[in-house]
Amino acid sequence: MLLPLLPCLVLCLLLLPLAVLWRRRPSQDARLSWLVHLQHRVAWGALCWAAAWQRKSLVRSTLHAGQSQQRALRRCLQGAQSPRCPLRGSTDIGVFRNHLPLTKASQLQEEESGVQLLPPTSNQYRGEVSLQATLLGLAALKKTCPEVLAPEGTARVTPSSPWPYPLPWPWHALGQLGPAGAKDPRALLLEALRSPGLRALEAGTAVELLDVFLGLEADGEELAEALAAGNPGASLPRRAAELREALEQGPRGLALRLWPKLQVVVTLDAGGQAEAVAALGALWCQGLAFFSPAYAASGGAVGLSLWPEQPHGLYLLPPGGPFIELLPLKEGTREEAAPTVLLAEAQKGKEYELVLTDHTSLTRCRLGDVVQVVGAYNQCPVVRFICRLGQTLSVRGEDTGEDVFSEALGRAVGQWPGARLLDHGCVESSILDCSEGSAPHYEVFVALKGLRNLSEENRDKLDHCLQEASARYKSLRFRGSVGPARVHLVGWGAFRELRAALAACPSAPFPPEMPRVLKHRYLAQYLQRRVLS
């Protein structure tokens, strides 16, 4: 797949050491050398050529989605490791479904059995979709914002990258500042702060970028001192003064005060990111566009984002690998309703659960991610993410879904004067042994901006909003079978610690899908220990 890029790649690699040496020489002005410009033009020429090739390939495959999925299924079955696989040589979807029943991923089963039931997609298929997402995403972003990816116009501020596939040529040739593979978040942020002319910020996920801005506010003086001490010249001390002045004006619009030419924020979309995107857009990144090159689930790219100018969160499900099926859900419920359908059979307006097949173990896994079909690209569906089925609260069989709870919490926080929701997590009271002497209920932990204490009146508003959002919850509350939700305010560092604990798990996917409903006591205790009010 990368073979057509080899000549341009070799030229880029040959130009890299010369460009680096040239840039180390003293310069009479701030302009980049002609060699750096040449390297940038060659890299972009190769990328645009590869993106055009990928676009044509995507158009062909989506025009005949059924045939494309047959080929994807054939590759999947041919890659099966078991020599006795009864499906070898067959691509009949009925036989495939009969021999391989659906498996429901369960984090609890993983931990108890030691077996990973959430199958990552194969490296081959992950690379195919991830490469498409990166090449087409970069090309679409450049077309929408031509100046965004100019030399030294982009900086990544987290160790992880939002681009699903690592491109083979030097990143800084395409405009990115900072050393490749850098792991120190502080060093990455300082590099970005030294460059007031940035046009794009990159972060692995929105929640990671939220941590960056919260840390910037908390450690602003230390960062300013590090900037001032970084160079005896006048530019960096002046930049340190600009940082202090920008921080003094508060969080709203901070990114544009620090980088006046900034146009877009690039993060990789996955489950549990919506609140961070909303908080960033309302405060620190106000006035900026957000772009995600892909939707990631189960540790790999699943959906492609081809339209930066469209509302955030629309993704095309491609017909190549991994092999994707859609499980219809019943009207008004989140239960399985019928056999799976292929991509070309998806109906606009309907909700489906994503099903992926892993070629290594031939596991048809229900990912738990629910999407709604909002349009079509040739014969393939364009979808938006709705919720995750595993993220439900149920203390009396009420099954309050992630989307229902998040909507109710958003309405409640909107009634708390001056408050902006940054993050939240929920726990059923039995997990924390909080039901002694009371009916089972929800324990809710929230991180807020603009509010340092929660009154009882504020806490009660969440329960009222939950009753308005769910008739089943309201009925149980009226009968006293379920107690009122208890709301706790935690410091923003609590969720950062929780994410670090999740990322430390050996089987953790990237990007880490931020859980909203915690099923294990040790995870909930990361939040419980940091309660402020």
User: For the stretch 474-498, what's the b/e string if a residue is b when 16 or more beta carbons lie within 10 angstroms of its beta carbon?
Assistant: bebbeeeebbbbbbbbbebebbbeb
Is pLDDT at 394 greater than 70 in this prediction? yes
* Residue 30: per-residue pLDDT: 42
Closest CA to 395 of 473, 469, 335: 473
User: For the stretch 268-291, what's the b/e string if a residue is b when 16 or more beta carbons lie within 10 angstroms of its beta carbon?
Assistant: bbbbbbbbbbebbbebbbeebbbb
* Residue 458: per-residue pLDDT: 94
Closest CA to 210 of 441, 10, 449, 395: 449
* Residue 107: per-residue pLDDT: 41
* Residue 119: per-residue pLDDT: 44
* Residue 420: per-residue pLDDT: 95
* Residue 172: per-residue pLDDT: 52
Could you give the CA distance from residue 188 to residue 320 in angstroms, rounded to a whole number?
A: 36
Is pLDDT at 160 greater than 60 in this prediction? yes
* Residue 23: per-residue pLDDT: 43
* Residue 2: per-residue pLDDT: 46
Read out DSSP for 110-136? Answer: HHHH----SPPPPHHHHHHHHHHHHHH
* Residue 234: per-residue pLDDT: 61
* Residue 443 host element (H or E): strand 442-449
**SS3 for 369?**
strand
Give the confidence band of 178 by pLDDT, cuts at 50, 70, 90: low
Q: Which stretch, 8-22, 101-115, 293-307, 342-356, has highest mean pLDDT?
A: 342-356
* Residue 393: per-residue pLDDT: 95
Is pLDDT at 25 greater than 50 in this prediction? no
Could you give the CA distance from residue 483 to residue 518 in angstroms, rounded to a whole number?
A: 19
Phi and psi dihedrals of 412, rounded to 5?
-65, -45
Could you give the CA distance from residue 367 to residue 121 in angstroms, rounded to a whole number?
A: 12
Handedness of CA 303, 309, 313, 314 (dihedral sign): negative
* Residue 432 host element (H or E): none
* Residue 390: per-residue pLDDT: 85
Could you give the CA distance from residue 212 to residue 499 in angstroms, rounded to a whole number?
A: 14
Who has greater pLDDT, 25 or 467? 467
pTM here is 0.88
Could you give the CA distance from residue 41 to residue 278 in angstroms, rounded to a whole number?
A: 35
Which residues 6+ apart lie within 8 Å of 59 measured at CB? 378
Q: Which two three-digit tokens encode residue 151? A: 């030399």
How many angstroms separate the Cα of 330 from the Cα of each of 312, 324, 353, 388, 469?
A: 27, 20, 11, 15, 19
For 175-219, where are the alpha helices, taking DSSP H only?
185-193, 206-218
Q: Is 5 left (phi over 0), alpha (psi -120 to 50) or beta?
A: alpha
* Residue 291 host element (H or E): strand 289-291
Beta bridge partners of 407: none
Strands (E) in 5-72, as ranges, are none
Give the confidence band of 229 by pLDDT, cuts at 50, 70, 90: confident
Could you give the CA distance from residue 45 to residue 55 in angstroms, rounded to a whole number?
A: 15
Give the confidence band of 173 by pLDDT, cuts at 50, 70, 90: low
Q: Which two three-digit tokens encode residue 202? A: 């990159």
* Residue 106: per-residue pLDDT: 52
Share of the chain above pLDDT 70, in %: 79
Give the confidence band of 124 by pLDDT, cuts at 50, 70, 90: very low
Read out DSSP for 315-366? Answer: EE--SSSSEEEEEEB-TTS-SB-S--B-GGG--TT-EEEEEEEETTTTEEEE
pLDDT, tens digit (0-9, with 9 covering 90-100), for 232-276? 556 778 899 999 999 999 999 999 999 999 999 999 998 889 999
Read out DSSP for 474-507? Answer: HHHHHHTSSPPPEEEEB-HHHHHHHHHHHHTSTT
Could you give the CA distance from residue 167 to residue 47 in angstroms, rounded to a whole number?
A: 9
CB atoms within 10 A of CB 88: 12
pLDDT, tens digit (0-9, with 9 covering 90-100), for 434-476? 877 789 999 999 999 999 899 999 999 999 999 999 999 999 9
Q: In what order do the strands lie in the sheet with 420-428?
A: 420-428, 442-449, 486-489
* Measured distance between the N- and C-terminal CA atoms of the chain, rounded to whole angstroms: 55
* Residue 521: per-residue pLDDT: 94
User: Which of 34-38, 53-57, 364-368 bottoms out in mean pLDDT, i.e. has the lowest?
Assistant: 34-38
Who has greater pLDDT, 418 or 77? 418
Give the DSSP letter of residue 182.
-
Who has greater pLDDT, 18 or 60? 60
* Residue 21: per-residue pLDDT: 40
User: Which of 145-159, 166-180, 332-346 bottoms out in mean pLDDT, i.e. has the lowest?
Assistant: 166-180
pLDDT, tens digit (0-9, with 9 covering 90-100), for 180-203? 556 788 999 999 999 999 999 999
Give the 3-state secondary structure percentages of the chain, helix then strand then coil, rounded to 5. Answer: 45, 20, 40
Closest CA to 317 of 362, 383, 252: 383
